[in-house]
Amino acid sequence: MPSAAPSRTASGSTTPLLSETTALDVESGSTTPRTPGSSTPRTPKERTPLPKFQLFILCLVMLAEPVNYTQIFPYVNDMCLRLGYARSEKEVGFISGLIDSLFAIVQLFTIIHWGRLSDHIGRKPVLICGLCGGTFATILFGFSRSLWLTILARLLNGALSGNLVVCQSIVSEITDETNEAQGASFPTSPLPAPTSSDCAAAFALISLMWAIGVIVGTSIGGTFSRPAEQLPWLFGTPFWETHAYLLPCLLAACISALACVSALLFLRETHPRKLAEQSLRRQLKQVQAGKGVLGTALSYGTISEHEPGEVGPMRPTIRELERQAREPAPAKDKPMSYAQILRSPGVAKALASAFMMMFINQAWDVVFILWAYTSIRLGGLSMSPLELGYCLASAGAVGACIQMFLFPRIQRATGLVLYPWLLAIVGLQFAGAPVLHWWVSLWGVDRPRGELVPSTYVGAVGLLWLGRVAAMIFPLNFIVLKKVAPSKSTVASTYGVAQVCTAAARALSPWFVSSLFAVSVQHNLLGGDLMWAVMLLLTAGAVAFTWDLSKRVREVERAREEREQEGRVES
């Protein structure tokens, strides 16, 4: 059959047929040009151009949440004592653990709805809402001088922080198997010969920005808390003495505000259904203006006299385009219910693993801050907020390098087998902390806060750097979730369910480990080391549970491939 000829407009110019122009694959979310009769948009090995500027804006958006979340870590224990939230150093763990948990507690009940909402109204509006809310809540936290206002600010910050699940969805939608490696190596040159395992690289970008956020947030919190004392030549006024923890909150809020403005002006919508609607609306406007792909010769429901039907396939009429614009989403693109997602093969195992992974890692992050701040006599290291902030920032820098350069190569070589081994590394941290305290106590248990022997810094930084190696499990967990996700059209909903599990872990873990540490110190249980022993046992259990995770994921992938093959044969 001869190919369809281009239509001629009243001015004599030619415009291609709609079937020859860019078509939007609603099912897959692809915007790749296709020609009639083509079954795939491009050859598998052709590399899709990477939207680097969009990735840059997305990185700025992803930076805001970890900065807001971590900037309180260096000073939260000092804040509880200074503002009278805790009556003594022994009780600090109960209050600071509560404050740390509140962010994740409320996020537990809201994160899945943010992901679901982004599946319906698009990714960009949800991101903007989260950034605005985070900016306001962080400023409110800085002005708070009562426990109840501090709690309210932390609750608001958690309730309005749904951006991570949306960012995960955007990364999935703007990358494919040909450029996911570029997404991770951005802004460096592309990695050669991308394979399906290169999705590790694209998702490592999320962990990379979290690591950078830790650097920025903890540096801000450690350097600019109590500015009237640490920087008296700039902030030696009664206002900054009264609001001793406002300055780091203001700086963190500025980063959120900058990310919000950048996303509002430059970030593009990536949701497949929204892209389909935008494409159809553009086509309709072009047709109605007489400049579109149909030309001016096509009327409502009629065939152009310049273009007989036998020259090619019938083109859609204006009424058909209007109907598609009103109902752009095919039925099979509708989001699955939560029950359907949970019943999908491999999802329950992946969600349980995500919960354990987050619980163990969050427990270490929280208890290290409390333990390092606690005096040596009570089992800690007696660090000042400034020293603690610098130690955490150095760990964030190491983590950024690991995520950018080391993780993609290790993951390509090992695959998901790496998952339980990374959990085991956290067990080494729990075992090493009491050893470091024993060593530090040999040099005296009554040393003033902040006046530590050099070996204290070496040991503390070593434990933190070990944790950055273990943090490679976070992008690995994203890969697990992507591989077991039921369908492409429910990516955000699947990540939302996973975020509920990890938010539950982030809610329970700080309170559990901080309270257990405080009880161990108060009652000298197991020589004050009961908390370390309990967390070591829990880590061992998590390693045992996730030992066969990679095998389960491979089974899910094989089953999906078999179903797809059967579907192709039937069609």
Give 514-525 as a DSSP string.
Answer: HHHHHHHHHHTG
CATH code linked to domain 52-270+335-561: 1.20.1250.20
Cβ atoms 45, 193 nearer than 8 A: no
Closest listed residue to residue 161, CA positions, set 111, 212, 92: 111
What Rg, from alpha-carbon coordinates, does the chain have? Answer: 27
Tokens 């797809």, residue located: 564
What pLDDT score was predicted for residue 496?
Answer: 73
Best CA proximity match to 468, nearest among 324, 311, 361, 342? 361
- Cis check for the bond before 187: say yes or no (omega within 30 of 0): yes
173 or 524, higher pLDDT: 524
The residue written with tokens 């902040």 in the block is: 450
Predicted confidence band at 557 (pLDDT cuts at 50, 70, 90)? confident
Q: Mean per-residue pLDDT for 258-269? A: 91
Q: What is the mean pLDDT of residues 458-482?
A: 88
**Which amino acid is residue 345, in one-letter code?**
P
3-state SS string over 201-232?
Answer: HHHHHHHHHHHHHHHHHHHHHHHHCCHHHHCH
Angle at 283 (CA atoms; ends 280, 289), nearest 5 degrees: 140
67: Cβ contacts below 8 Å, ≥ 6 apart: 213, 216, 217, 220, 252, 255, 256
Burial status of residue 79 (CB atoms within 10 A of its CB: 0-12, 13-18, 19 or more):
buried
Residue 361 has pLDDT above 70, yes or no: yes
Instruction: Tell me how far apart the alpha carbons of residues 211 and 401 are, in angstroms, rounded to a whole number.
Output: 9
Question: What is the CB-side half-sphere exposure of residue 462 using CA atoms within 13 A?
Answer: 12
Query: Please, what's the largest Cα pairwise distance for the chain?
Result: 97
Please, which pLDDT band fits residue 356 given cuts at 50, 70 and 90? very high
For residue 7, pLDDT beyond 50: no
Compute the C-alpha angle 435/425/444, nearest 5°.
15
Most confident of 9-23, 385-399, 454-468, 476-490: 454-468
Is residue 224 exposed (0-12), middle (13-18) or buried (19+ Cβ within 10 Å)?
buried
pLDDT over threshold 70, residue 500: yes
Scanning the structure block, which residue is given the tokens 């694959």?
25
Under a CB-based contact definition with an 8 Å cutoff, are residues 69 and 122 in contact? no
Residue 570 in this model has a pLDDT that exceeds 70:
no
Where in the chain do CATH 1.20.1250.20 domains reside? 52-270+335-561
pLDDT band at residue 24, thresholds of 50, 70 and 90? Answer: very low
Compare 40 and 486 and report the one with higher pLDDT. Answer: 486
Cα separation, 136 vs 357, in Å, equals 31
Instruction: State which amino acid sits at residue 267.
Output: L
The per-residue pLDDT for range 414-457, each reduced to its tens digit, is 888 999 999 999 999 999 999 999 998 888 887 777 777 888 88
CA distance 396 to 468: 7
For residue 485, give the DSSP letter: -
Angle (deg, nearest 10), helices 385-401 and 454-470: 40
Distance, C-alpha 310 to centroid of its chain: 53
Query: Is-contact 97 113, C-beta < 8 A?
Result: no
Angle between helices 147-159 and 92-121 (to 10 degrees): 30
Retrieve residue 302's tokens: 């009629």
Task: With beta carbons less than 8 A apart as the criterion, state whether 82 and 150 touch.
Answer: no
For the purposes of burial, counting CB atoms within 10 Å of the CB of 405, is it exposed (0-12), middle (13-18) or buried (19 or more)?
middle
Task: Give the chain's count of helices (H) and strands (E).
Answer: 24, 2
Average pLDDT, integer, range 107-132: 83
Distance between CA atoms of 397 and 29, rounded to whole angstroms? 35
Residue 12 has pLDDT above 80, yes or no: no
**245 compared with 320, residue with greater pLDDT:** 245
pTM (2 decimals)?
A: 0.65
Half-sphere CA count of 564, side-chain side, radius 13 A: 8
